Amino acid sequence: MAEVNLLQALPQTKRNIQKRKDAKDPEIIAIAKQFGQMYFDGPREYGYGGYQYDGRWIPVAKNIVTHFGLKPGMRVLDVGCAKGFLVKDLMEVCPGLEVFGIDISSYAISNCPDEVAERLVQGNCISLPFSNHEFDAVIALNVLHNLERRAVKSALLEIIRVCNSDKMFIQVDSYLDDNQRHIFLDWVLTAQFHDFPAGWLQLFGEVGYKGDWYWTIVTE
């Protein structure tokens, strides 16, 4: 179980924190939390501001394959896979790897690359529609903080249940000091549970999570 930055190769996102803070209102937040077209492909105030495949997950996929020693034939689940870009890239960098994704957003799933359309399912991570120990590795990137604390625990228990090893990786919103916390609160739209690392580690311990993790820290 280790803290490891598997997403370090992703390009840094430019964020206009003040613009987001000024625009944010309950209606925008409610629309963002639907994880529909506006969240992925609407204006930046609502979420991604446009989420298209551009290959940026390829180096991350390589890191994941190397970190977990993934081999052709192994089965991997991406929880909160959005449009399935990482699912596609994991199979591209490791041909023969069997990768699947689940996401609550029917909009995201139905706007995935053709190659992964049969591999993505719509569903909620608090109740994964998979058998015990069905996967050799499970990842959940920037998903779990969108749940209430109790639901985060349910989702983690589900991830542990469907994985046949400790090859699990969770990345969630966090902050290392009060200044980072203020920036995060100005920026956040969809997160429901977030905490300092100690709070997250406490939660991981409560469910006996033995996988790896890293933090998404919002910067300007």
Q: Least distance in Å: CB of 143 to ligand SAM?
A: 4
Q: Which is nearer to ligand SAM, 110 or 178 (CB)?
A: 110
HEC-encoded secondary structure of 82-151:
CCCHHHHHHHHHCCCCEEEEEECCHHHHCCCCHHHHHHEEECCCCCCCCCCCCECEEEEECCHHHCCHHH
Closest distance to ligand SAM from the beta carbon of 6 (Å): 11
DSSP 209: -
The DSSP call for residue 3 is B
Structure tokens belonging to residue 142: 């920037």
Instruction: Kindly determine how many residues on this chain lie close enough to bind ligand SAM according to the rule CB under 6 A.
Output: 15
CA-CA distances (angstroms) from residue 9 to 62, 63, 151?
10, 9, 30
* Closer residue to ligand SAM in complex, CB, 94/144: 144
- Smallest distance, Å, CB 141 to ligand SAM? 4
User: Judged by CB, which is closer to ligand SAM: 142, or 165?
Assistant: 142
Q: Which is nearer to ligand SAM, 136 or 173 (CB)?
A: 173
**Which of the residues 85 through 144 are near ligand SAM (CB under 6 A)?**
103-105, 108, 124-125, 141-143
Q: Enter the DSSP assignment of 168.
A: E
Q: How far is the CB of 48 from ligand SAM (least distance, A)?
A: 8
Q: 78 near 65, Cβ under 8 Å?
A: no
Site for ligand SAM in 163-202 (CB under 6 A): none
Q: Which of the stretches 21-29, 66-74, 79-87, 194-202 binds ligand SAM when contact is defined by CB under 6 A?
A: 79-87
* 192: DSSP letter: S
Q: Which of 168, 105, 163, 116 is nearest to 139 (CA)?
A: 168
CB-based burial, 104-124: b 16+ in 10 Å, e otherwise: bbebbbebbeeebeebbeeee
Nearer to ligand SAM, 105 or 174 (CB): 105
Question: What CA–CA distance (Å, rounded) separates 197 from 114?
Answer: 38
Min dist CB 46 to ligand SAM, Å, is 12
Nearer to ligand SAM, 103 or 136 (CB): 103
Question: Which of 31, 32, 35, 193 touches ligand SAM by CB under 6 A?
Answer: 35
Q: Does 80 bind ligand SAM (CB under 6 A)?
A: yes
Using CB under 6 A, list all residues that contact ligand SAM.
35, 80-82, 103-105, 108, 124-125, 141-143, 146-147
